[in-house]
């Protein structure tokens, strides 16, 4: 069955960096676009970024553009999110999510999430 397992969250000071990982299994990872979605405590969902199945194309929400980088390693079935210049408003649970298809921007499987807290 499809599994997505995020890791790498934690407490980090403003201005510092953090890298999240998402280990995928149970499907052909290289055949699907993959996404990051976040949820601030007590708030709604916010789409963060997407990467194409071959890793050549990436798109970002305006709120993270220029600070976050999404990447993937299809040989390791792993998705990444490099987060630089972190701000308090980046505090959230970060979910990785599988697109329904190569170009689909809705999500049929989600990980359990990893909490990132940006605080001094």
Partner 1 sequence: DIQMTQSPSTLSASVGDRVTITCRASQSISTWLAWYQQRPGKAPKLLIYKASSLESGVPSRFSGSGSGTEFTLTISSLQPDDFATYYCQQYSSYSTFGQGTKVEIK
Give residues in contact with partner 1 (CB under 8 A). 35, 44-47, 50, 59, 61-62, 95, 100, 104-108, 110-113
Phi, psi of 66 (to 5 degrees): 90, -15
Shortest Cβ 30–partner 1 spacing (Å):
21
Shortest Cβ 39–partner 1 spacing (Å):
9
Structure tokens at 83: 């987060």
**Distance (Å, whole) CA 52 – CA 59:** 9
For residue 66, the Cα-to-chain-centroid distance in whole angstroms is: 15
In three-state secondary structure terms, 73 is: strand
Our CB check for partner 1 shows the closer of 35 and 72 to be 35
Our CB check for partner 1 shows the closer of 19 and 100 to be 100
Our CB check for partner 1 shows the closer of 54 and 108 to be 108
**Distance (Å, whole) CA 28 – CA 25:** 8
Shortest Cβ 44–partner 1 spacing (Å):
5
């Amino acid at each position: 069955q499809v599994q997505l397992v995020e890791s790498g969250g934690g407490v980090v000071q403003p201005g510092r960096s953090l890298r999240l990982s998402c280990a995928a299994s149970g499907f052909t990872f290289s055949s699907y676009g993959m996404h990051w979605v976040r949820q601030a405590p007590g708030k709604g969902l916010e789409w963060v970024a997407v990467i194409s199945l071959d890793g050549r194309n990436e798109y970002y929400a305006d709120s993270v553009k220029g600070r976050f980088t999404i990447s993937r390693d299809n040989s390791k079935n792993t998705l990444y999110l490099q987060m630089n210049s972190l701000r308090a408003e980046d505090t959230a649970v970060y979910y990785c999510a599988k697109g329904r298809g190569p170009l689909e921007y809705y999500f049929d499987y989600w990980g359990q999430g990893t909490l990132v807290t940006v605080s001094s």
